[in-house]
Amino acid sequence: MKSLYIIGSKGIPAKYGGFETFVEKLTEYQKTSDIKYYVACMRENSLKSNISEDFFEHNGATCFNIDVPNIGPARAIAYDLLALKKAIAISKENQDEQPIFYILACRIGPFIHYFKKQIHKMGGQLLVNPDGHEWLREKWSRPVRRYWKISESLMVKHADLLVCDSKNIEKYIQNDYKKHSPKTTYIAYGTELETSKLSSSDDKVRRWFSEKGIVENEYYLVVGRFVPENNYESMLREFMKSNSRKDFVLITNVEKNAFYEKLKAETGFDKDSRVKFVGTVYDQELLKYIREHAFGYFHGHEVGGTNPSLLEALSSTKLNILLDVGFNREVGADGAIYWEKDNLHQVIDESEKLSALEIQKMDVLSTEQVKERFTWDFIVDEYEKMFYERR
C-alpha cells in the first residue's frame, strides 16, 4: 500500500478554501484501496475541532491535528514545518516503504532541503503543488513578497515533482526556473457538476433574495476574496460606466476591510444602487442556486492557477465574462466572453444584446468544458495514476 502524506491545507472536513476542498474531494472520491492518505490539519480549523484526539478518521484518511502558535503572518510557515515534521515521524513509526509527502504551496522553501534529506533517506519522495503567484499578491509587503519568491525557488529546486494545477503555472515554472531543470506535471483543480437541490419556492431562497433586494436572472455576480489582484476596482468602475439596469452582486467578505473603504472613497460605488455587497454565503446549495440564476458571472482573478470559483461558475452560470489572462483562457476556452481592464463596460453592454439562444450556446459550451476536463471524478483519477507512477 502506498502511504501519502498531505501537508499545507488547513484541514478536513473542509470549511472553505481551495486546498481544503481539494483534499476533501481527493479523499472522498478515492477509487483505489491501495493508497492510504494521511492529512495534516490545523486543529481549530477542522469541522471536527471539538475532537480532542490528535488523530481522527475522515473519508478513510487518517487526519492528524497540529497545534500552531499564534505568531502572526509566519503562522502558516510554522504550521507547514510542524505538520511535515509530524508526518515524517508518523511515516517512520509506520515503517512505510516509499512514502510520498505532498506539500501544497511554497511556504517553507528555506527549510525544505533539511526535510528532503530525511525523506530521501526513508526512500520517500517530495511532491509540491506550487499554487499560484503568491509573491505577486498586493496584500504582502515588499519584504514578504521577496520571501515568497525565494521560498518558491527553493521548493522548485528541491521537489522531486511539481504538480501544477494550471498549464500556465507549469510553463512559468519551466521558464523561470530552467536552471533547476524542474520535473513538472499538470493536473487541474476540480469541481462538481450537480445542480442545486433548491427551487425558487424554497424559504431560504426567497428569504435571501428578498433580504438583498435581488431578482433572479437580473444580476451579475462575483464570488471571491476581496483583494486587489482580483480586480474589483476595474469591475466596479467598468460596471458603473455601463448602461446596464441589472444589479452587480458581490459575494465576498468586506468586514473591517481597508481595501473596501479605499475603493468606496475612490469610486463612489456606494452611490450606485445597482452595486450590492451582500456578504458571504456558506450554504453551498444556496450559493449554487445564486450562481445558476445570475445573468452573468464576472471573473477578475489574474494571480493563480485553476481558480475554484471560476470552475464553479463555468459549471453553474449561463454567461461567464472573464478577465483576459492566460489562466482564465485555458479554463474558459470558447465557453466564455473575455474582457480587458478598460473595456468591461462595453462587454457588458454587448452581452445584454445577446439572444437567449446565444446565451444558451455559451452555457452549453462552458458546462462541456468542465465536464470533459474538470470533474472531481476525472481529477482524482489523474492523481491516483500519478501517485502510482511515483515508485
- Domain extent, residue 133, equals 2-190+375-389
Q: What is the pLDDT of residue 7?
A: 98
Can you name the residues that pair with 185 across neighbouring β-strands? 163
Is residue 39 a part of any domain in this protein? yes
> Within this chain, do residues 233 and 122 fall inside the same structural domain, yes or no?
no
Is residue 281 a part of any domain in this protein? yes
H/E run at residue 349: helix 344-351
> Within this chain, do residues 279 and 156 fall inside the same structural domain, yes or no?
no
Is residue 56 a part of any domain in this protein? yes
Can you name the residues that pair with 103 across neighbouring β-strands? 7, 128
> Within this chain, do residues 19 and 155 fall inside the same structural domain, yes or no?
yes
The model's pLDDT over 93-145, given as tens digits with 9 standing for 90+, comes to 999 999 999 999 999 999 999 999 999 999 999 999 998 666 556 666 777 78
| Distance set, CA 89 to CA 9, 80, 95, 118, 201 (Å) | 19, 14, 10, 10, 53
Q: What is the pLDDT of residue 36?
A: 97
> Within this chain, do residues 245 and 274 fall inside the same structural domain, yes or no?
yes
Is residue 196 a part of any domain in this protein? no
> Within this chain, do residues 130 and 171 fall inside the same structural domain, yes or no?
yes
> Within this chain, do residues 157 and 289 fall inside the same structural domain, yes or no?
no
Separation between Cα atoms, residue 23 and residue 279, nearest integer Å: 26
As to burial, measured by CB atoms within 10 angstroms (0-12 exposed, 13-18 middle, 19+ buried), residue 181 is exposed
* Total of domains in the chain: 2
> Within this chain, do residues 98 and 218 fall inside the same structural domain, yes or no?
no
| Distance set, CA 271 to CA 216, 240, 268, 326 (Å) | 23, 10, 6, 34
Verify cis geometry, omega within 30 degrees of 0, for the bond prior to 13.
yes
Is residue 197 a part of any domain in this protein? no
> Within this chain, do residues 128 and 229 fall inside the same structural domain, yes or no?
no
Separation between Cα atoms, residue 208 and residue 278, nearest integer Å: 10
Is residue 351 a part of any domain in this protein? yes
> Within this chain, do residues 173 and 216 fall inside the same structural domain, yes or no?
no
The model's pLDDT over 207-245, given as tens digits with 9 standing for 90+, comes to 999 999 999 999 999 998 898 889 999 999 999 999 999
Q: Which one-letter amino acid corresponds to residue 218?
A: E
> Within this chain, do residues 228 and 331 fall inside the same structural domain, yes or no?
yes
Q: What is the pLDDT of residue 121?
A: 97
What stretches in the chain show pLDDT beneath 50?
A: none
Is residue 34 a part of any domain in this protein? yes
Is residue 241 within 8 A of residue 268, CB to CB? The reply is no
Q: What is the pLDDT of residue 307?
A: 79
> Within this chain, do residues 214 and 114 fall inside the same structural domain, yes or no?
no
Is residue 280 a part of any domain in this protein? yes
Q: What is the domain-level CATH number for residue 297?
A: 3.40.50.2000
Question: Which of 307, 306, 309, 336 has the alpha carbon at shortest distance from 324?
Answer: 336
Tell me which long-range contacts 257-261 makes (C-beta under 8 A, separation of at least 24).
257/226, 259/226, 259/227, 259/228, 259/232, 260/226
Instruction: Collapse the DSSP code of 129 into the 3-class scheme (helix H, G, I; strand E, B; otherwise coil) and give the result.
Output: strand
Is residue 363 within 8 A of residue 318, CB to CB? The reply is yes
Q: What is the pLDDT of residue 200?
A: 97
Q: What is the pLDDT of residue 388?
A: 87
> Within this chain, do residues 167 and 273 fall inside the same structural domain, yes or no?
no
In angstroms, how far is CA 165 from the centroid of its own chain?
Answer: 10
